[in-house]
Amino acid sequence: MPLSAGDKLGPYEILAPIGAGGMGEVYRARDPRLNRDVAIKRLKSNHGARFEQEARAIAALNHPHICQIYDVGPDYLVLEYIEGSPIQGPMTEADAVRAALQIAAALEAAHAKGILHRDLKPGNILMTAAGAKLLDFGLAKLVSDDQATITIGVSGTPLYMSPEQAEGKTLDARSDVFSFGAVLYELLAGRRAFDSLAAVLRDEPAPLTSPAAAIASRCLAKQPGQRFQTMTDVKTGLMGIVGHARPAEQPSIAVLPFANMSGDKEQEYFSDGLAEEIINALVKVPGLKVIARTSAFAFKGQNTDIRKIAETLGVTTVLEGSVRRAGNRIRVTAQLITAADGSHLWSERYDREMADVFAVQDEISAAIAAVLETKLAAKPEGRKHHTPKVAAYEAYLKGRHYQWKLTREALIQSRECYQQAIALDPDFALPHAALAEHFQIASSGLMEPREGLARGREAARRALEIDPALPEANAWLAIFAAVFDYDWKEAERLFRLALTPQPVPPTIRHWYGYFYLRLVGRAAEAVEEHRRGLEADPLNPIYRTGLAVSLRAAGRDREAAEEAAKVFELDPNFTAAYTLQAFDATRMPVPEALALVEKGISLSPWHLTSMGLLAGLLVRNGEPERAQEVLRRLGSADTFRVPCALAIFHCVCSEAEQAAEWAQRGIEQSDLMVPMLLLSPPYLPVLRTAARWPKLAALMNLPETA
């Protein structure tokens, strides 16, 4: 018998019916224990212990584009309540690909847990302000180690079934790939790929002409072996379209991380570092587009086809190689591959002493330029600067290896490595510049800001004494001038120096946009700098985050939300992706924002500013007791970073005067997070209404444009 508003189902109070599906009725309900709305799917029958066991396993999935299962009853499921409407076509290709990437990412995460969807269709996908959300996820099959498949109740929808599913055969992830293709086809065409189950088994859909349609067509191959074999492969193809990754006319290259063949996993830092140094040498070649480290290394350990990598990154050539180290000798192999057909353009093997590692880097770079010289204006210059001691160089590479991990422990290890490199070779500029970057990162939560400022400046100045042309050193001095001293004129001067050497490293463009342009009211220029940085590093989640923040500052909210969603697609465990989305709590239901910020805190619990955001969202969600508990966990108000966290808390609660008071205390602490966070929406509009805003603006020397 259908339920009505006011009825009870277990501890849940029914608010209103939402609709009915193949498995039963769906209701909006209230969970009085957690004070939140939920969706309840009341099933047609009691599915028993087996159903509860499988549903709980599926509830372990935690992905931003999957509707979460909260609880299981004898004949009902309790789900995340989502504001949205079923996805439907036709869409523009850009919008269809964007949604498809989110769906593919969700399926990829589930398949990694051994969970198949088996009922993928537009009716099971909602479009929300934050993107696509998959419903009824995983209620088809859960693949385990001791059983081929386990059926738990969903038979599927005929017009979206794979042929093998329609014929009752054993299924694997490729069945979901087929259903995904049917959904993508419908988003592009505005009509179904098939009009009958017989057509699913026998016919090909009417052809469409576009890169995304080609991906849908491959997904819809009748034989599983002719489809994309994994959702990761599907994502790779889709991201090539997002990045406009068709082979460019100009020569272009991606240098993949070199394989470590030494038999010692601890030597990985060296093989990665060698590839990174070759990237740094190649960027100096005029006329050659070089993909930056983050994007080139995104495929590490994935065994992805070279041609797919080239398509995703938009390059004409790919360099791959390996390093074997034995005692004081190294063997480096390298091969340059053309993206069009996977053929080898050049390959070479180098057997050298460790002391010759720098010559090997130069020789590989020169060989690549020689192969492409018909289209290049010049070859790379040989090494002119200080050649470091090998031991110092190794310590520096170890530091970079640890720093890229971006965990508290790894950051401490990276600092120790840089300091070791400097002790071994004080005239080696790069570890000094790397220390400046380290101390800026550490000032975001690992050490007292003033200490980070002083030590970071000292390191950057020493790097410039050694190498006056080092752009990273000038950029870090510019950042310190901006977010610590509020000396915007000096920051602009130093950034101009950092931007002078050509080509400009993409990281410099990102820093210029994020730490300077958006903060002085030049958000539109910041957006352009971020986009230019992403041309060389399209898969970098940090740059994508910076673009989203600057778009929001420029008032381009829809584009900002789209870019923020892409960060999830690049790295579902990237902390900033969750806090970035949750910052914009005014544009999404508060429970959804809460889930995002809680996930971000679980990944980086040392980010105290996120605790202030969490407490504010809890107040807005009607949970003041939990909010006070979070605020108590912040610690003493005199502890660095706490005033900024409390300013955020009061901003979220729309308490402008209290927010301004705490912001001032953060400024007095030289907390760099004050300008980085509070001079952006949604906090800045609240602060500007406070009576002491003119004083805050004066303390930060903000120009009129800001």
Based on its alpha-carbon atoms, the radius of gyration of the chain, rounded to whole angstroms, reads: 27
Is CATH 3.90.580.10 what the domain over 85-242 is classified as, yes or no? no
Interacting residues of 198 by C-beta distance below 8 A, sequence separation 6+: none
Quick one: pLDDT at residue 318? 93
Residue with tokens 């420029």: 554
* Distance from chain centroid for Cα 527: 18
CB 596 within 8 A of CB 582: yes
Q: What DSSP state is assigned to residue 121?
A: -
Q: Residue 386's pLDDT is what?
A: 76
Token code pair at residue 207: 């052809």
How far is 454 from 452, CA to CA, in rounded Å? 6
The full 3-state SS of 127-151, as one line of letters, equals EECCEEEECCCCCCEECCCCCCCCE
Rounded average pLDDT per 10-residue block, the chain, 706 residues: 87 86 77 84 65 62 78 82 87 89 88 86 84 70 41 60 90 94 94 93 88 91 92 84 52 91 81 88 84 89 84 90 87 86 79 84 80 53 70 88 75 90 93 86 67 86 90 92 92 93 88 94 93 91 90 88 82 70 65 82 75 91 92 70 89 94 91 85 91 94 77
119 is catalytic: yes
End-to-end CA distance of the chain: 60
**Confidence at residue 58, expressed as pLDDT on a 0 to 100 scale:** 64
CB 211 within 8 A of CB 127: no
Determine how many CB atoms are found less than 10 A away from the CB of residue 224. 18
Residue 514: DSSP 8-state: I
Q: What single string gives the DSSP state of each residue in 165-184? A: HHTT----HHHHHHHHHHHH
Best CA proximity match to 652, nearest among 592, 582, 706: 582
Domain boundaries, the chain: 8-80, 85-242, 252-383, 573-706
Nearest CA-CA partner of 295 in 286, 304, 503, 96: 304
| CATH of the domain spanning 8-80 | 3.30.200.20
Where does 573-706 sit in CATH, by number?
Answer: 1.25.40
Domains 252-383 and 573-706 share a fold: no
**Contact yes or no for 523/514 (Cβ under 8 A):** no
Catalytic-role residue among 71, 75, 95, 119? 119
- For 185, residues 6+ apart whose C-beta sits below 8 A from its C-beta are 192, 193, 205, 208, 213, 216, 217, 220
| pLDDT at site 359 | 84
Phi, psi values for residue 498, rounded to 5°:
-65, -30
Where does 252-383 sit in CATH, by number? 3.40.50.10070
